Structure 1
Amino acid sequence: MLKNKSKKNRQEINEESRELKRKRKHKGLPSGSRFNGKQNNKKTLNIIKDPRIGSKKPISLVQTDDPIIKVNQPKKVKLTPEQELDQLENDTKLDHLLDLVEQGKTLTNEQQSYLDNKLDRIDQLMKQLGYEDNDFDDELEEPKEDIVSLLKRN
């Protein structure tokens, strides 16, 4: 019942212990890692500043009718009648809708209301600026004939 174990001699035991010591020596972090530049760069890259931290906006702790914080709303620029008329004349959507009407195509309710509103506004601006639309007046009225010209025809 004796087991045959091969006993190691002193020299083999010393070699194994040296190997284990070498393996243990290379475990862990390298010495002086605290002051190496590589380690510090990694930390600064990982830390991204949160823009929400350190905000200087006043925040009311109690709900009131008069708010301290004012929301920036875009201000509408007041156009002069000339500028507004130029803007309406250069409106591509309006031009497209007028082309459709000239071609005899039907418009949707939204397109028709847009067209009517813009044309009404153009009429208001032209009256306000004193412009007269003589082009349409000539087409609607029949030319007046003199009695003399009627007699010459017959």
Structure 2
Amino acid sequence: MPRKKKSRKIGQIGTPLAPKTKRKSVPAAPKRNKKTLGKASGSRNNPEQTSSSNQQKKALKDPRVGSKKPIPLIIDDKPKSKVAKPKYFSPAQELESIEQNERFGMLLEKLDADQTLSKEERAFVNRLTARHQELCELLGISNEEDQAADSSEDDLYAQFESIDINKFK
């Protein structure tokens, strides 16, 4: 048997590959489209514009989520609360409630004392006095009757003063 010299080169262990030029490319598996969940990033600030009919609808709709209620930047001292207007069954009940209104009475006393009223108070007094007059006309109540009663009392007092006491002695 012939002798072989030792060498450091390692022989071919497996089958050799064909050169790259002659290799057939293995077709890669076709890529799948992933199902997306939700909107793409940045879609809130850059909404898609697809067609003209959809553009009008999207232009009206605000893409932002949340409350659209305006926030007051200046805090008022007095909170504005809407007072529910009471409903009356008859004009007589409404007239009575106006006459029994404590705030209205206090403001009328202020006016009689020649004190100044704020715009809100003046508007309140004007509104209630106008409604009071309407209701009085509707019910047929007039101030002339009250004045006539007052004048008849004055007439009675004048008659009393004019009586000669000596006639009754």
TM-score tier, shorter chain, comes to 0.3 to 0.5
Q: Normalising by structure 2, what TM-score?
A: 0.35
Larger Rg: 2
Q: Which has the higher helix share?
A: 1
